[in-house]
Amino acid sequence: MSINLEQFHQTFFEESFEGLDSMESGLLNLQAGTPDADTINTIFRAAHSIKGGSGTFGFSEVAKFTHVLETLLNEMRDGRRPVAPEAVNLLLESVDCLREMLTAVRGKSPVNAARVADVQARLETLLAGAPTAAPVVAGTEPVVTAAYDGWLIRFRPKPHLFQTGNDPLRIFRELAALGELGVEADLSGLPDLESLDPEQSHLGWLLKLKGNVPQAAVEELFDWVRDDSDLSIEPITAQSMPAQRQSGDRRSGDDRRAPAAAGEGTSIRVEIGKVDALINMVGELVITQNILKQLGENFDIGRLHRLQQGLADLERNTRELQESVMRIRMLPISFAFNRVPRLVHDLSAKLGKQVELKMSGEGTELDKTVLERIVDPLVHLVRNSLDHGIESPDKRRAAGKPETGTLSLSAYHKGGNIVIEIGDDGAGLNREKILGKAQERGLVKGSDHLMDEQIYELIFLPGFSTAEVVSDVSGRGVGMDVVRKNIASLGGSVEIASEPGKGSRFTVRLPLTLAIMDGQSVAVGSEFYIVPLVSIIVSTQVKAGQINVMAGQGEVFRFRDEYLPVIRLYEVFGARPRTRELKEGLLVVVEGDGRRAGLFVDELLGQQQVVIKSLETNYRRVEGVSGATILGDGSVALILDIPGLIRIAHQKQVA
Amino acid sequence: MATILAVDDSASMRQMVTFTLKGAGHDVIEASDGMVALTAAKGKKVDLVVTDVNMPNMDGISLIRELRQLPDYKFTPILMLTTESADGKKQEGKSAGATGWIVKPFNPDQLLATIKKVLG
């Protein structure tokens, strides 16, 4: 039977990456306190599984590497080796190395051999310098076996043999398959019938196996019972033969196929409870459908009430079903948070800072796609807090603060959003430094009077960096502008609050899912548009005197203390509005990418949850539109891309 | 064909073992650790148990020891999946009552060949 092992690869990779994550968090825990047997065991088991799987599925480089890792962990587990910080750090590096290897192998690309060799060599050095001798790997040394005319086997199992599930008959059957077999039973040990325990073995055998059978093949058959029996295997005719050897490498039969085009779809693991809930819901839906069907078969107006009741049930069923289906895509944010402890550990060591990480709300769930795409911005914000926020122990002491800084990471649900907060008790944002840099870069004029909040906002402008020396921690050419852009592309926002000497806090708001959002319908003539509710600040009626036409800035209106550009939606989309008079319509003040504008519409309609349909997939990308949705009456409404619209408005002003 | 209880905490290994055994016409009961396996085994008769050794909650050795306490499992063949370097584990497993072992890494053919040895 030939089984293509590739079908199990995806599962193997998924569980291996999970295993690496748990190794990593286990190792970080080890560092934090005294070695705990359970933790070491968990780490060991993860390494052990990866080794077993990689060997089985033909990833020999991974298996070889993990073997060394496992040996080291085994010594720690058995208490033969102390859990020293250097060893833990090397193990952490090994986890990274393994992760890279597995990523490479999964992508069917070669592993970074130099890196692997380097880490492996250091593991081996550590092993060699073991306080107790490293266990020698049971060698698969090829034993030169001679073949003989046959074998004389004396075999007397101990009484308890059957209790190990073994059966001499099975062994004889296998022997008979190797050559001509003669069996002679030795009944001398047989008790009389009264004292015979049928669950015990009482017999012995003298077996003659004729044929050119290698000793190893015979020995192997008795492998499992050797310790439970008296056994001798002797050649019948001693006659030396040239040593012949068949490949003893068990792995040679394993198929490491040339890469076939393995479809690498992403899969998702769903908690069984969620699936059960879904099945339940479908059951209810079927019941409701049956009720409605019966009603429809012989309907009269007297049963209108029941029809309405049925429709109400249907609505509830559909809503619950929708929520359950959405929930399937939801994963706890711990998948993203898990990367942070390691990051904090490595970075704080590198920066010479002492940092305590506090996390909360790891179980908060959000959409898988959002989750995957929030990891990078999150990592960047954490790096930023460590690098620029928390001060060195000296500075902290001088400022009368505890030497160990605190970085807090929390997640919670609020409304239809998930909120992630990254806070530190560091120095806070440096107002003067930011302003100075912004002026130097020409981002603001020297004469501009800016509020603190506005100054903090400057760090989100493209190309902004306050680090005097571009550090290799946060200054990697990726600025906060990219962070904001990435978050905005998920339909989210990021805000800063900062207090000098006390610390800063970044608040990231994200939609729970990208497939559904809360929208505000607005009307322009006979057209409907959806404005994402998250981007709306306020809707307002324009009064005379609020509108100005400014040179170089087009039409603006005064909102609180600033002048915002007016975007006439009918102009953007070529619609025929009910009114062109600003005073007769409404201005919806919206914000996107940190910039505000007023959308001029005829009127506001209702708020509703809309299912987002991609225009790009079904048609093509349209500037100012992020998608479309189908309204209750079957008509189509475009969903506005607020940052895009604001960008267009600004471009127009420049032109 | 036979009913086989396959125990492994690694989903990919379990998948591979199950797929191989089912392909050979056996019924397979899967369990993700010793504790789950023991619960599954109680009140049921299986013809063969194939278990990993290193597992959370209850490891393979303890599972074998527990199974041997059950009247239905007194003589049931139990194979351990071990790694080549784990000679100590083999001995430990044997004294707990294991029938034999299959050395990892193994391929489906090796698995079936070994199982044939036990089931006939």
Q: Which DSSP string do the residues of A383-449 spell out, in sequence order?
A: HHIIIIISPPHHHHHHTTS-SSEEEEEEEEEETTEEEEEEEE-S----HHHHHHHHHHTTSS-TT--
Helices and strands of chain A, counted as H and E runs: 19, 22
Q: Which of B12, B16, B69 to mutate to test the interface with A (most CBs of A within 10 A)?
A: B12
Q: Is the pLDDT of residue A190 over 70?
A: yes
Does B98 contact A164 at a Cβ distance shorter than 8 Å?
A: yes
Q: Is the pLDDT of residue A246 over 70?
A: no
Peptide bond into B105 cis (omega under 30): yes
pTM of structure = 0.57
pLDDT at A130: 52
Compute the nearest-CA separation of A654 from chain B (Å).
Answer: 59
Q: What angle do CA A520, A523, A529 make, to 5 degrees?
A: 55
Which residue is it, tokens 């019948």? A236
Cβ atoms of B40 and B73 within 8 Å: the answer is: no
Between helices B11-23 and B108-119, what is the axis angle to 10°?
Answer: 60
ipTM summary value: 0.84
Which tokens hold the place of A201?
Answer: 């073995």
Q: What residues have CB less than 8 Å from A412, skipping those under 6 apart?
A: A361, A364, A418, A419
Does A254 contact B105 at a Cβ distance shorter than 8 Å?
A: yes
pLDDT at A240: 38
pLDDT at A166: 87
Exposed, middle or buried by CB within 10 Å (0-12, 13-18, 19+), for A34?
exposed
Q: Is the pLDDT of residue A248 over 60?
A: no
Ordered alpha helix ranges (H), A144-222: 168-178, 215-221
Confidence tier at B28 by pLDDT (50, 70, 90)? very high
Could you please report the per-residue DSSP string of A541-609? PPPTTSEEEETTTEEEEEETTEEEEEEEHHHHHT---S---GGGSEEEEEEETTEEEEEEESEEEEEEE
Q: Is the pLDDT of residue A456 over 80?
A: yes
Of B15, B81, B117, the CB nearest to A11: B15
Q: What is the pLDDT of residues A256-300, one digit of tens each?
A: 333 333 344 567 777 788 888 888 888 888 888 888 888 888 888
Give every strand in the sheet of A229-235, ordered side by side.
Answer: A180-186, A204-214, A147-157, A229-235
Q: How far apart are alpha carbons A49 and A18 in whole angstroms? A: 11
At residue A105, φ and ψ (nearest 5 deg) are: -65, -40
The conformation of residue A236, written as its DSSP 8-state character, comes to S
Q: Which helix (H) or strand (E) holds A154?
A: strand A147-157
Cβ atoms of A600 and A569 within 8 Å: the answer is: yes
Question: 3-state SS of chain B?
Answer: CCEEEEECCCHHHHHHHHHHHHHCCCEEEEECCHHHHHHHHCCCCCCEEEEECCCCCCCHHHHHHHHHHCHHHCCCCEEEEEECCCHHHHHHHHHHCCCEEEEECCCHHHHHHHHHHHHC
Compute the nearest-CA separation of A315 from chain B (Å).
Answer: 39
Distance of CA A613 to the CA centre of its chain: 26
Does B105 contact A173 at a Cβ distance shorter than 8 Å?
A: no
Does B19 contact A8 at a Cβ distance shorter than 8 Å?
A: yes
Q: Which of A45, A164, A227 to mutate to test the interface with B (most CBs of B within 10 A)?
A: A164
Residues 13-72 of B with CB under 8 A from A: 13, 15-16, 19-20, 23-24, 52, 54-56, 68
Q: What is the pLDDT of residues A31-48, one digit of tens each?
A: 665 678 888 888 998 998
Of B11, B20, B74, the CB nearest to A11: B11
Confidence tier at B51 by pLDDT (50, 70, 90)? very high
pLDDT at A653: 62
Q: Are strands B27-31 and B3-7 parallel, antiparallel or unpaired?
A: parallel
* Nearest to A508, CA basis, from A494, A529, A487, A518: A494
Compute the nearest-CA separation of B32 from chain A (Å).
Answer: 13
Cβ atoms of A425 and A401 within 8 Å: the answer is: yes
* Nearest to A229, CA basis, from A191, A189, A198: A189
Confidence tier at B78 by pLDDT (50, 70, 90)? very high
Compute the nearest-CA separation of B119 from chain A (Å).
Answer: 8
Average pLDDT over residues A102-122: 90
pLDDT at A31: 66
Instruction: Give the residue from chain A lying closest to B83, CA to CA.
Output: A52
Q: How far apart are alpha carbons A343 and A383 in whole angstroms? A: 8
Q: Which residues of A carry out catalysis?
A: 48, 70, 384
A1 touches chain B (CB under 8 A): yes
A177 touches chain B (CB under 8 A): no
Interchain CB contacts (distance < 8 Å): A and B: 120
Chain B positions touching A164 (Cβ under 8 A) are 94, 97-99
Helix (H, G, I), strand (E, B) or coil at A338: coil
Does A223 contact B78 at a Cβ distance shorter than 8 Å?
A: no
Between helices A339-351 and A9-32, what is the axis angle to 10°?
Answer: 50
Confidence tier at A148 by pLDDT (50, 70, 90)? low
Confidence tier at A144 by pLDDT (50, 70, 90)? very low
Render the burial of A561-587: b for 16+ CB within 10 Å, e for the rest. Answer: eebbbbbbbbebbebebbeeebeebbb
Distance of CA A398 to the CA centre of its chain: 40
Q: How far apart are alpha carbons A367 and A369 in whole angstroms? A: 6
Residues 150-169 of A with CB under 8 A from B: 162-166
Is pLDDT larger for residue A464 or for residue A290?
A: A290
Q: Is the pLDDT of residue A313 over 80?
A: yes
Q: Is the pLDDT of residue A199 over 60?
A: yes
Q: How far apart are alpha carbons A119 and A128 in whole angstroms? A: 14
Give every strand in the sheet of A625-630, ordered side by side.
Answer: A603-611, A516-524, A527-532, A636-640, A625-630
Chain B positions touching A42 (Cβ under 8 A) are 56
Compute the nearest-CA separation of A404 from chain B (Å).
Answer: 36
Which of A83-97, A127-141, A445-459, A479-493 holds the top average pLDDT?
A83-97
Q: Which of B84, B87, B107, B119 to mutate to test the interface with A (most CBs of A within 10 A)?
A: B107
